[in-house]
Amino acid sequence: MKNPVTFPHPIGLLLFNRVEYAQKVLESLNAQTLPVDQSTLYISIDGYEGSKAEFQGKPNHTAEIVEMARALFPNATILIAAKNIGITEANCVLEENMLKSHPNASWLGFFEEDYVLSPDYLSIAEQLISAAQSLDDLVMVAATGETLDPDNREIPGVFPIGHLWAYFVRVAHVHERHDEIQVYRHQLSEKSYWERDKISLARLMASRGVFPVGIGDDHLRLGLMFRFNRIGITTGLSYGEYIGIEGEHMSVGSFARFNFTGPTSVPFNINSVDFPALIPTLRAQFHAGFAKRLAERFVIPKFKAFASQKKTEDLPRGRKVISHLRQAFRALF
């Protein structure tokens, strides 16, 4: 009897200590219309010891999450960290395991626990990957609706990618960015990810020609895509739902400010997208508007958040300017 068709690319999923999030994303991955091949699924469960959750006195749910993952995906590779290693290290471990076990893979998937997939997510991703296969510049694809320019959200079509959620990356790009990732990884090795020295990391990566806005793992990878003059795309409509209200890079306030959209009911139509014709436009959007769009998306909201916490109205004009400049510098990092 012929085996049913399964999703053909390796997927790495990062989980950590949030039972409700883990359950939702695992169940959504298990309910795909294009099923996951468990022999190509790698689940990293980060350790509790030394984590921010432990520091905050939150309970340890690691055992529950391990049990849940094994129940839904008994044949997947499950990697359990004894101590907290953080997002960057966990992603690197996932990447290394996928490359070692699947040396002929052309694309790798990186998912986290706070993006719940619509049932057709992997089917759409496979269509995007197939369309991008012959376009060497196009190295990242997703179907999250998280476009670089907020004006392109909730619109059918494909646009430059913003947040790197539930995305697939071309293995050739994984190799070309490897050394820069290792530099960043080494700099993180002396401290926990959540305690990382953001200013030192920013200076280090800037000295190497990498300019992410913020020093989160996804910002670094987005910056490296620009560093190598590559293109990433996502759908304008969201084929899933971001639920990460509280986490390493998000809070209740910032979640509300970004106004993330839920899953669409509009089917994706790959035939409506002329990828070769789009490449010049995508390249122009990425390079010409990069700084402006990232500033609008990340820097300005952070600046406003910092500014609202500071009372500078009564300061002399000169000191007020200096205060705002300091806040802007902090907002960048």
Residue 119 and residue 31 in contact, taking contact as beta carbons nearer than 8 Å? yes
- Position 135: which residue type? L
Q: SS3 helix, strand, coil % of the chain, rounded to 5?
A: 50, 15, 35
- Residue 26: name the closest of 145, 141, 124, 112 by CA: 112
Half-sphere exposure of 261 (CA within 13 A, CB side): 19
Interval 257-315: pLDDT, tens: 666 778 999 999 998 888 888 888 887 777 655 555 555 555 555 545 544 544 444 44
What does the pLDDT average to over 323-333? 48
253 burial (CB, 10 Å; 0-12 / 13-18 / 19+) is exposed
The alpha carbon dihedral of 28, 218, 77, 114 has a sign of negative
At 310 the pLDDT is: 46
State pLDDT tens for residues 104-162. Answer: 999 999 999 999 999 999 999 999 999 999 999 999 999 999 988 788 889 999 998 98
Q: Is the pLDDT of residue 61 over 80?
A: yes
Question: Which residues have CB under 8 Å from 196's CB, separation 6+?
Answer: 86, 188, 215
Q: Which residue has the higher pLDDT, 210 or 17?
A: 17
Where in the chain is CATH 3.40.50? 1-113
pLDDT greater than 70 at residue 251? no
Helix (H, G, I), strand (E, B) or coil at 172: helix
The pLDDT, as a whole number, for residue 170 is: 98
Task: With a cut of 90, say whether residue 171 has pLDDT above it.
Answer: yes
Catalogue the E-assigned strands of 20-173: 41-45, 77-80, 107-112, 115-117, 138-142, 158-160, 167-170
In 3D space, the residue among 73, 50, 166, 37 whose CA is nearest the CA of residue 113 turns out to be: 166
Over range 208-226, report the average pLDDT.
79
CA end-to-end distance (rounded Å), the chain: 56
The fraction of the chain above a pLDDT of 90, given in percent, is 57
pLDDT above 70 coverage of the chain, percent:
79
Length of the chain: 333
Q: What is the mean pLDDT of residues 238-263?
A: 75
Query: Given this model, what pLDDT does residue 313 score?
Result: 46
pLDDT at 32 over 60: yes
Q: Are 223 and 286 spatial neighbours (Cβ–Cβ below 8 Å)?
A: no
pLDDT, greater one: 168 or 304: 168
**How many C-beta atoms surround the C-beta of residue 199 within 10 A?**
13
CATH number of 1-113: 3.40.50
3-state SS record for 98-133: HHHHCCCCCEEEEEECCEEECCCHHHHHHHHHHHHC
Question: Average pLDDT of the chain?
Answer: 84
Q: Across-strand partners of 147?
A: 161
| Burial category of 203 from C-beta neighbours within 10 Å (exposed 0-12, middle 13-18, buried 19 and up) | exposed
SS3 of 74, please? coil
pLDDT of res. 300: 54
Cα 84 from Cα 22, distance rounded (Å)? 17
Q: What is the pTM of this model?
A: 0.84
pLDDT at 298 (0 to 100): 55
